[in-house]
Amino acid sequence: MVPNANSSVISAKALDLTFQTADAPVHALKDVSLDIAQGDFVSFIGPSGCGKTTFLRCIAGLETPTGGTLTVNGMTADEARRARAYGYVFQAAGLYPWRTIAGNIKLPLEIMGYSKADQNDRVARVLDLVELSDFGAKFPWQLSGGMQQRASIARALAFDADILLMDEPFGALDEIVRDHLNEQLLALWTRTNKTIAFVTHSIPEAVYLSTKIVVMSPRPGRITDVIDSPLPKERPLDIRDTPEFIEIAHRVREGLRAGHEDD
């Protein structure tokens, strides 16, 4: 079943997640409800401890919510994980140093049992997609940080999951590399029409990339604002100097500040 354009791919209703720690329970997520539609690019932004990464991990089935419901492609998150419904990109590239770049991209394909020929086709295709075609035979530690992160995105794309979950993927990179990768990511999203959930703590990055910006705040982790971006799908880098862009950025900043006031 291919979901149509306005059906929700990820749907959370009244999601709660409480960690039991030694001294007091920590409310990582409280009453989080959100629908993400097919083809959306959703950013989660907020200060540390607001639960944005925890929410992403819930969607990935890496954490189990303690209350509420969460469906991914109409299944529970854990079923979706087993059905390999998404590709996940971590804060660090996390490539295996003992495998070449191509070998790293093959890793999920080997685990999922793709044929050898199919593996090679897919590796070539996604390497091309992230513009690393000439580097397949290199080892990760021979590449720059930005290239490593591109390789890890290729790894998440290789098995054609419709959903891409990205947890501050560019957080550790410098501004110039980050701008470049943002541009590339947008182009990739336009071409592949994937649904992307993207965690960040950079306001410009969130506004530049997203169709929907989810502002979160901590203690307890919750959603304080959801902003649907009026920006067009085509976004050159200098869109960041337009009044529309600055206005959305302003609203995000206000939302973040409001979340802080009730500390």
Partner 1 sequence: MTLVILAFVIWVAMWALNTRLANGPRANSRPIQLLVPAIFGLTILVVWELLVHGLNVPLVILPAPSHVVATFFNEIPTLWLDFQQTFIKGALSGYVIGCGAAFATAILVDRYDFLKRGLLPVGNFVAALPIVGTAPILVMWFGFDWQSKAAVVVVMVFFPMLVNTVAGLQETTSMQRDLMRTYGAGYWPSLTKLRLPAAMPFIFNGLKISTTLALIGAIVAEFFGSPTMGMGFRISTSVGQLALDMVWAEIVVAALAGSAFYGVVAMTEKTVTFWHPSQRK
CB of 81 to partner 1, least distance (A): 6
Report if residue 14 touches partner 1, rule: CB under 8 A: no
> How many angstroms separate the CA atoms of 119 and 257, rounded?
47
How long a stretch of residues is the chain?
263
Report if residue 226 touches partner 1, rule: CB under 8 A: no
According to CB under 8 A, which residues from 21 to 60 bind partner 1?
60
Asked if residue 212 lies in contact with residue 35, where contact means CB atoms within 8 angstroms, the answer is no
- From 111, 237, 246, 258, residue interacting with partner 1 (rule: CB under 8 A): 111
Report if residue 90 touches partner 1, rule: CB under 8 A: yes
Please state whether beta strands 195-200 and 212-217 pair in parallel, antiparallel, or not at all (unpaired). unpaired
> How many angstroms separate the CA atoms of 142 and 5, rounded?
41
Contact letters for partner 1, residues 121-160 (x by CB under 8 A): ------------------x-x-------------------
Report if residue 87 touches partner 1, rule: CB under 8 A: yes
Angstrom distances, CA of residue 198 to CA of 21, 40, 221: 28, 11, 17
Burial (CB count <10 Å: 0-12, 13-18, 19+), residue 41 = buried
Q: Which stretch binds partner 1 (CB under 8 A): 15-23, 40-48, 108-116, 125-133?
A: 108-116
Please identify, using beta-carbon distances, which residue of 49 and 103 lies nearer to partner 1.
Answer: 103
> How many angstroms separate the CA atoms of 135 and 56, rounded?
30
Report if residue 107 touches partner 1, rule: CB under 8 A: yes
- Name the token pair of 16: 């709660």
- From 39, 61, 136, 255, residue interacting with partner 1 (rule: CB under 8 A): 61
Binding residues for partner 1, per CB under 8 A? 60-62, 81-84, 86-88, 90-92, 94, 96-98, 107-108, 110-112, 139, 141
